[in-house]
Structure 1
Amino acid sequence: MHSESSFHPDDFPDTLQDLPGIRLDAGAVGQAFVAAQGAQVVSWHAADGIERLYLSPSTGGLTRDGRKAMPIRGGVPICFPQFSDRGSMVKHGFARNLPWRLDQRAQASLTMTQRDGDASRQHWPHAFEAQLSVRMEFGALEILFTVVNTDSVAFSFTTALHTYLRVDDIRQIRLLGLEGVAYQDATDGCKVKTQQETALSIPAEVDRVYLNPPGIVRMVEQDRSLLTISQQGFCDTVVWNPGPDRARMLADMPDEDWLHMLCVEAACASAAVTLAPGERWEGSQRLCVG
């Protein structure tokens, strides 16, 4: 039986940028790549062949010999059981840094699991089971994240699907659907503000946790809809781009790549989820072309 914190390369025969993982190829439905580390979806494109997820060309990550350099910069990192630095744990929690176990795979889907073990208990004392399911449909990618409390006591966590979307030029991108929504502005001491603009533009650094947002936002480029992004189960939506100044401080991302990415994240960041023993929580994010 596989240890939950060990890496078994035979389960992950494919590579992308030297990251071991699994390539899903469902023909006209789409293609995706899911890394062994963090069960992290790092590539997805539908029948049009356009890559929709950003992956830094200079990122680190788990190598085939089992050595881990750093978190993977791009794709859809799983933040669990802590979002960002909102707590005493390693930033964004430990789940994205550990190898996950492959449970099931098909042509257009897979399921991976992480359970508590020696590696997780270095950071968090609780018994849990986390599961990530990926499913491609025509023009769409859906990611479902589930947490079950297998402990004898209640625990709380924050979490996010930290989705990096790939764009040609962030200065041409607008997000629709967040007008009138309150948000915590992490660039200004997490002060709560309200978005006044109908369309959010990203001219420089943006780091916002939108509180009780609508379940759907749209990413457009010059009035052409690129993606419809929907979520269920998550109470917040995070929008993040480091901007040019902070991007230069990121060792695992080229300085100019802030122009080519935008994070739109399904999250429970502003308030923790609490599960009693045996309770289950789930949240999902769906990306649809157009």
Structure 2
Amino acid sequence: MATYKVETELHGELNCWRITSDRAELLIAQQGAQILSYQCIGEPPLLWLSDQAIFRQGKSVRAGVPVCWPWFGSLQRNPPSVQAMYKGEQAPAHGLARTRDWQLLGIEDAGTALRIEFELPQAKGDLPDWPHDVELKLQILMGDALELSLTSRNMGNSPVTISQALHSYFAVSDVRQARVEGVEGLDYIETLADWEQRQQQGALAFTGETDRIYLNTPATLSIVDPHWNRRIKLTSSGSRSAVIWNPWTDRAKELVDMADDGWQRMLCIETANVWDDVVELKPGASSALKVTIASEVI
């Protein structure tokens, strides 16, 4: 049986819950059902929270795991089937879910883990300029690992096409020393070079700004962090694509919610359905985007 403590906190303008178990501590905001930080007891943080994060209503926090839904990134960069779902003129980056308050459905003991579940009621036909009826839930399991599951169920009478991502910010000792394994030989879209398609040679090391969409990804990707003697393993399902991002020096200076050197301590690997990996939900159908985040000593 899991033992845990739940405290409510106000961070800036955002209502949050701090959930502490005998294994880990999780901070999550009602806005976006966004995990802000996660740390196993006695270990460095697994998820990164920016030192200069801004906790403001209507603005996603530079931290943790923002939920990008029902599209990822710029809507104009999405396939026409995703673009056609939106009826508005100005489409916000990364969709409509990450800046709206979600409903906490419950926190309960799930045997060896703690289950936390959220729902976005507005997804059922009340999102501005997105007139579709989708039941959208996020389930979090806190146990020996952190398991996230984002489930979309089409409750309407017409097909719905979405792109999405669990936009995870991972904490690293120094991104210049870290590497990502599991991407060897994969095709990727190099967004910094006119969206060319290229092929990854070897593991991914970081020597400058990185913003890539990896295609046909395997179930497991890993961040190897030699200084912290740690491997962060990401095991996903319901996904064939991943976005890897680090802003590096110049881009970080343009971000008001990141310290100039903040890029050194973070790395995004976003479990995703993007590019040619979008999700089409027929009436009554559901789809789950899942990732399990675990750390091990190397």
Map residues 1-290 of structure 1 onto 2, 5 A cutoff.
Answer: 13-16=8-11, 19-27=14-22, 29-62=23-56, 68-87=57-76, 89-106=91-108, 108-116=114-122, 120-138=126-144, 140-197=145-202, 199-222=203-226, 224-271=229-276, 272-290=278-296
Cα deviation for residue 114 of structure 1 reads 0.5
1:208 partner amino acid? R
Quick one: structure 1 residues 255 and 84, their matched pair in 2 at CA, closer, same or farther if it must change by over 3 Å?
Answer: same
2-structure distance, mates of 1:255, 1:100: 32
Quick one: structure 1 residues 121 and 20, their matched pair in 2 at CA, closer, same or farther if it must change by over 3 Å?
Answer: closer
2:211 partner amino acid? D
Q: Deviations over 1:162-209 (max 9, x none)?
A: 000011211111111111000111111221110012x21112111111
State the percentage of identical aligned residues.
30
TM-score normalized by the length of structure 1: 0.88
Count residues with an aligned counterpart. 272
Q: Which residue number in structure 2 is paired with residue 3 of structure 1?
A: none
2:169 partner amino acid? Y
Question: In 1, are the aligned partners of 2:7 and 2:19 still within 8 Å (CA)?
Answer: no
2-structure distance, mates of 1:263, 1:113: 24
1:44 partner amino acid? Y
2-structure distance, mates of 1:283, 1:69: 24
1-structure distance, mates of 2:271, 2:256: 25
1-structure distance, mates of 2:128, 2:13: 27
Question: In 1, are the aligned partners of 2:125 and 2:134 still within 8 Å (CA)?
Answer: no
Q: Which runs of 5+ in 2 are unaligned?
A: 1-5, 77-82, 84-90
Question: In 1, are the aligned partners of 2:235 and 2:291 still within 8 Å (CA)?
Answer: yes
* 3-state SS, counterpart of residue 84 of structure 1: coil
Question: In 2, are the aligned partners of 1:53 and 1:164 still within 8 Å (CA)?
Answer: yes
1-structure distance, mates of 2:225, 2:246: 16
Supply the RMSD in Å over aligned alpha carbons: 2.0
Cα deviation for residue 16 of structure 1 reads 4.8
1-structure distance, mates of 2:244, 2:148: 18
Cα deviation for residue 243 of structure 1 reads 1.2
TM-score normalized by the length of structure 2: 0.86
Quick one: structure 1 residues 59 and 222, their matched pair in 2 at CA, closer, same or farther if it must change by over 3 Å?
Answer: closer
* 3-state SS, counterpart of residue 170 of structure 1: coil
2-structure distance, mates of 1:188, 1:74: 26
Q: Deviations over 1:233-280 (max 9, x none)?
A: 112011100111111111221111011100011000113211111110
Question: In 2, are the aligned partners of 1:216 and 1:231 still within 8 Å (CA)?
Answer: yes
1-structure distance, mates of 2:283, 2:32: 24
Q: Deviations over 1:57-113 (max 9, x none)?
A: 222234xxxxx1521111000000110013362100010000000101126220000
1-structure distance, mates of 2:195, 2:246: 16
Cα deviation for residue 118 of structure 1 reads 9.6
